[in-house]
Amino acid sequence: MKKSFPPRDKAPNKARSGFRFKDGGGRDQNREDSPKAPFRGAKRRPFNDSEGERKDRPARRFEEKSSRDQTRDRRGSGTEKNPFQSAKRHPLRSHQPSHGGFRKDERPKRTFENKRPLQPETKPAPQQELQPARGLYIWGVHAVREAWCNPARKCFRLLMTEAVAENFAPALEKANASGLARPDVKIVTRDRIDALLPEDTVHQGLLLDAAPLPEPNIHELLLPENAPDLIVVLDQVTDPHNVGAILRSAAAFGAGAVIVTERNAPQTTGVMAKVASGAVEYAQLIPVTNLARTLEALGEAGYWRVGLAEEGEAALADQRFETGKTVLVLGAEGTGLRRLTREKCDALAKLPTQPPIGSLNVSNAAAIALYEVRRQRAKPQR
């Protein structure tokens, strides 16, 4: 059913909320009530600062305006000159635009005789000396020389400068006389070696890419035919420079192995090999999981375990090292030996240091302890 609405009140001047009634022109019937715009009644501004209208500008009459002939071809194909077209034309342009503005017989043909052929993108072949290391980078004269002459070391590349080639010739001859399989030596510039190593590395013009040495097991070390008479144990010594210096002292004083923890201990790197000056080829670096159990195994194997600590009751020189197998246990600087490591030692000894310097670097302390052991064993037994 169609819904009906009441008739509207068509009173012309009746105000309603929100809007006013409008008639045909769309203007308000009640113009007196509507607010006046701010521009209504305002005087029109002149064209310039002078009063009144400009007298020097003539009024434009539209009936005098020249109309353009719309029948004329805009492209200039007609007889009359088109003012909108440039006077200079392309020599191949046709007056009758066909085939894209060119005549069929005058269309330019694309030729490839003079066209430059595309060159394939070629990259320089990677040089062998700039390839990444296959194993471990070892640098320095002493470290490279000992690794090159070590039968247990597998070598991949050897880079050297011309300045050190003459001094390194005896090591090359020694390896050849021993029948070692070694790659060809490459003579390069110092910049090539610098590009492969960290900044400010003192490589002395030698760089060897070699495989790491096999790490022996602690159980293999304690076999009767392999057990050395002197071993160094490091308790969480993290600095590779210290470990490298201790390896050098251990090899110099006849220690057969240096035992470190797998955690909180550095791996064998080029920095350690450089500091050790070739000692990594002779003193074995053995990582272990549990240091306390390792000390127990060493004690069962007949080793006398001596720990270096400032709280030691006796001096290191008072210990008896003339005979038997000995283990020297050293801790990290600052923290020293841990409690469980200290409890596994048979004795605690100290170095006779004096104030104001009460302790030494761990590498220096290891060198002094190793010297003391060898000094006592070098004395004739009574």
103-162 confidence digits (pLDDT tens): 556 666 666 565 555 555 544 444 544 567 788 899 999 999 999 999 999 999 999 999
Whole-number pLDDT of residue 105: 61
Region 33-42: mean pLDDT is 53
Which of 324, 334, 368 shows the shortest CA–CA distance to 350? 368
327: enclosing H helix or E strand: strand 325-331
d(CA 233, CA 256): 11
**Class of domain 130-210 as given by CATH:** alpha beta
252: enclosing H helix or E strand: helix 240-252
Which of 178, 177, 138 shows the shortest CA–CA distance to 156? 138
Domain segments of the chain: what residues? 130-210, 218-378
d(CA 274, CA 140): 6
Task: Say yes or no to pLDDT of 172 above 60.
Answer: yes
DSSP for 358-381, written as a single string: ----HHHHHHHHHHHHHHHHHSPP
Whole-number pLDDT of residue 125: 42
Region 17-31: mean pLDDT is 50
Over the chain, what is the mean pLDDT?
Answer: 77
| pLDDT bucket at 308, cuts 50 / 70 / 90 | very high
Q: What angle do helix axes 362-378 and 240-252 make, rounded to 10 degrees? A: 10
Quick one: how far is CA 99 from the chain centroid?
60
CATH architecture for residues 218-378: 3-Layer(aba) Sandwich (3.40)
Percent of the chain with pLDDT over 70: 64
For 201, the token pair is 């590395």
Higher pLDDT, 258 or 382: 258
Which of 263, 262, 269, 232 shows the shortest CA–CA distance to 363? 232
State the Rg of the chain over Cα. 50
How many CB atoms within 10 Å of residue 208? 27
DSSP structural state of residue 265:
S
Contact 102/93 with Cβ under 8 angstroms?
A: yes
Region 59-77: mean pLDDT is 54
- Global pTM reads 0.63
Task: Say yes or no to pLDDT of 327 above 70.
Answer: yes
